[in-house]
Amino acid sequence: FFIEGLNPYVKHSAGIVSYLTGGASITPAYSEDTTTLPVVNIRNGVIAGIKYFNFDLDAPTDGSKSLEVELKPLGIDAQIDVYLRPASAVNTPVEYKDSKVVSVGEGSKKLGTIELSADMPMESTTFSISAKEIDKLDGQWGLFFVFSSDSGLNICELYNVQFVSE
């Protein structure tokens, strides 16, 4: 239990999500060799949020920052929009425009988008997106993933997340 928030520069299992919509769930896999609890049943419209990363903790001062997201594509064309949301936005609503999420709460910032294609191998893959904005952040921020696809099928399984400095 991290009262001061999670260290963003440590790998975290997606199973620690504290905000999950749209029927997605956390795989209950309990064995001695379990290293992550994946979020599964991720379909169009699912929003998954991990709260809160403390960007005041041991932040590397040099190098470019990125977010590494480990997931398993499931053969569907899809997009994953990645947002940061300040802790102060805890009770502010997700905002939509033309049926698309444009904000996961007041003051949220879009980091980028992960594009998945139907021809990607269906195996655990680490995607990296620029996170240069985190150098400007103070305090605690949630990390949110908004999944979208034209299909009603499962898009991917989400395994781990970690901010890195290169």
Over residues 113-134, the pLDDT tens digits come to 999 999 999 999 999 999 988 9
| CA atoms within 13 Å, Cβ hemisphere of 121 | 4
**Residues 45-80 pLDDT 10s:** 999 999 999 998 766 777 789 999 999 999 999 999
Q: What beta strand segments (E) does 99-155 contain?
A: 100-103, 109-116, 125-130, 140-148
In this prediction, residue 2 carries a pLDDT of: 67
Average pLDDT value for residue range 156-160: 98
What is the average pLDDT value for the chain, to the nearest integer?
Answer: 93
Tokens standing for 35? Answer: 């290293």
**Structural fold of domain 12-165:** Jelly Rolls (2.60.120)
Tokens standing for 18? Answer: 């504290």
Q: What is the pTM of this model?
A: 0.94
